[in-house]
Amino acid sequence: MKICKNCGEVNQSSVDFCCNCGKDVFEFAAETVCQNCGNTNASTYTHCIHCGEPLQLQLTADAQSVKREIETIYSTQLAEVSLKETAVCANCGQEVPVNSLLCTGCGAPTYQMHDHRVVKRKICSNCEQPNLPTSTLCSMCFASLKDAKMQDFQLVYTDAQSGGLSLRTAVLENQFGKYKICNNCGSMNKLSEDFCHKCGLKLGVEEQVRYCVNCGAENQPDSHFCIKCQWSFDGQAADSNQGVWTCKKCNHLNQSNSDFCTNCGSKKAK
């Protein structure tokens, strides 16, 4: 469309003179090409004046470049959100990792939010080790994961027995097997592995011990007396306490050959 600078009349683009005043001074108006019939329309029109079809917005090269950039950023962020393996604690709002049983902010149980949740892992084509979806190199053999395929894993919880207690742990499984999740780095390890292959964290359940508050020695969980200093865990008198003496000031147990308390320095009472 041409707009006459003399009278403001809108003319067709093909005219040489204004149909209203006959002048030949024009200004080209922004136009939109109808995708249905190919005719031009003023940019302010929403429907074609020739065929009645809705007009699609024609973007300039710069606008199209910006649009592509926005779409790329959005699609990348959307992919990151879909790979995000956290949940929000209903109690305090803290983001909780997928392998956490308790909220890291308030300690509330959160494992029910993740139970049977499906997560994705990259499978190394070299050693078939599952890796985090954000990994670029395999955590086992350091091969490139550029062309690695994704597999779905389901998060389940298993109970391990230790000292009469049942300890729950997170496990990822699919049709090919089960894997332990390292609580330190998030790597997947085989159930037979006792230490994380990536960071070395111990994965197995440690045997329970009872620490003596008097000397710090480790004892069996069912011990009544410390094996090092004869401290009583439940307040019972020892069958023989001739080898130790109790400090009157701090109640610390000391060996019989000590004249002064090793904890507070008080002199042994006569």
| Residue 57 or residue 213, greater confidence | 213
Q: Where are the domains of the chain?
A: 1-58, 212-270
Kindly give, in sequence order, each residue whose CB lies less than 8 Å from that of residue 34, ignoring residues fewer than 6 positions away.
40, 41, 48, 50, 51, 53, 55
Q: Which amino acid is at 118?
A: V
Residue 78: strand, helix, or coil = helix
| Residue 26 or residue 68, greater confidence | 26
pLDDT interval class at 72 (50, 70, 90): low
How confident is the model over 223-234, as pLDDT tens digits? Answer: 777 877 777 887
Could you tell me if 41 and 55 are in contact, meaning their C-beta atoms sit under 8 angstroms apart?
yes
Q: Which amino acid is at 73?
A: I
Give which of 231, 219, 123 is closest to 163, Cα–Cα.
Answer: 219
pLDDT interval class at 84 (50, 70, 90): low
Kindly give, in sequence order, each residue whose CB lies less than 8 Å from that of residue 140, ignoring residues fewer than 6 positions away.
124, 127, 129, 197, 198
pLDDT at residue 65 is higher than 80: no
CA distance linking residue 209 with residue 26, whole number of Å:
94
**Beta strand spans in 43-117 (E):** 86-88, 95-97
pTM over cut 0.95 = no
pLDDT interval class at 78 (50, 70, 90): very low
Return the exposure string of 224-247: e unless at least 16 CB atoms fall within 10 Å of the residue's CB, then b.
ebbeebbbebeeeeeeeeeebbbb
pLDDT at 144: 92
Residue 62: strand, helix, or coil = helix
pLDDT interval class at 180 (50, 70, 90): confident
Q: Which amino acid is at 155?
A: L
**Which of 45-54, 166-175, 241-250 has the least mean pLDDT?**
241-250
Q: Tokens 């742990």 identify what position? A: 169
| Residue 210 or residue 99, greater confidence | 210
